[in-house]
Amino acid sequence: MVVRIGSRGSRLALTQAEHAAALLRRPGLEIALVPITTAGDRDRTRPFGQIGERGVFVKEIEEALLSGRIDIAVHSAKDMTSEDTAGLVVGAYLERDDPRDALVGAAELRPGMRIGTASVRRRAQLLAADSSISVEPLRGNVETRLRKMRERRLDAIILASCGLDRLGLADEIGARLDPELMLPEAAQGALALQVRAGEEELVARVDHAETRRRVEPERACVALIGAGCLAPVAAYHDGSTLHALIADEDGAWVERRSGSDPVALARELTGLAVR
């Protein structure tokens, strides 16, 4: 039996897909990796908001899954739309890696720094922490962003810790940012194995229950707020409590709330945002 796993074609994405494949392999099961180019991969210069809605790194992979060209899609769960696409389900979450953001190029935040990131979530929280920081747009894969940081002589950039860890680049990390300072993207650090509805048995045996218990409330909270990559919103479950955030893009205000019910948190934060 041959199972085709679809993934983005970057080094990080293929590393993640091979990790999933290693967990899924068993006697009699052959796995083929199928690299797929997404809208976010084709356009590496414009801000995400000018390319399309949240999901710019998953849409084409989901289309391949729905059409039967692949059998399993491997996504960084934070890149997915907050609500499941019709006909598809997350059949498994792999055990979550470090969900924190990483400061690269410096060991701490300092006034007046020039920091590169394309994330409005990161931008909002940086400026809320210190309005003297200059946040500069920066896109590309991990290696490209590291190169651009040096070419543009930025003081630092912010990347997901998990991506650097998976690529063997943990030495690039100057500091792993505490969620109290930088609340992570919903589902950051988790890999999602997406399948067609009714075919969950393909991946069910590698589902990590504790990761699912934490990640699904995060995704639900963000979905209920109705936000995506264009909105400064974050959600993170630390194992006992769900923390959520909504902010102004320029960090003029940030509202954080904690609790156990993603519906209640989303309603409270949405109400605060429209005042």
Q: How confident is the model at residue 142 (pLDDT cuts 50, 70, 90)?
A: very high
Q: How far, CA to CA in Å, does 87 sit from each of 12, 28, 63, 187, 252?
A: 27, 27, 11, 21, 40
- pLDDT of 219 over the 60 cut: yes
What's the pLDDT score for residue 158? 98
179: left (phi over 0), alpha (psi -120 to 50) or beta: alpha
Q: Which residue has the higher pLDDT, 139 or 265?
A: 265
The active-site residue out of 41, 71, 79, 238 is 79
Reply yes or no on whether the pLDDT at 235 is more than 50.
yes
* Band of residue 226 on the pLDDT scale cut at 50, 70, 90: confident
Lowest mean pLDDT, pick from 108-117, 156-165, 203-212, 222-231: 222-231
> Residue 64 burial by CB count (10 A; 0-12/13-18/19+): exposed, middle or buried?
middle
Indicate if 84 belongs to the active site.
Answer: no
CATH architecture of the domain formed by 101-176: 3-Layer(aba) Sandwich (3.40)
Mean pLDDT of 113-121: 95
* 3-class secondary-structure state, position 142: helix
pLDDT by residue (tens digit) across 42-61? 655 555 554 445 577 899 99
Q: What is the mean pLDDT of the chain?
A: 92
Mean pLDDT of 86-96: 97
At 148-162, the pLDDT tens digits run 999 999 999 999 999
Note the pLDDT of residue 230: 61
- Cα–Cα distance measured from residue 50 to residue 141, given in angstroms and rounded to the nearest whole number: 18
> How many H-runs (helices) and E-runs (strands) does the chain carry?
9, 13
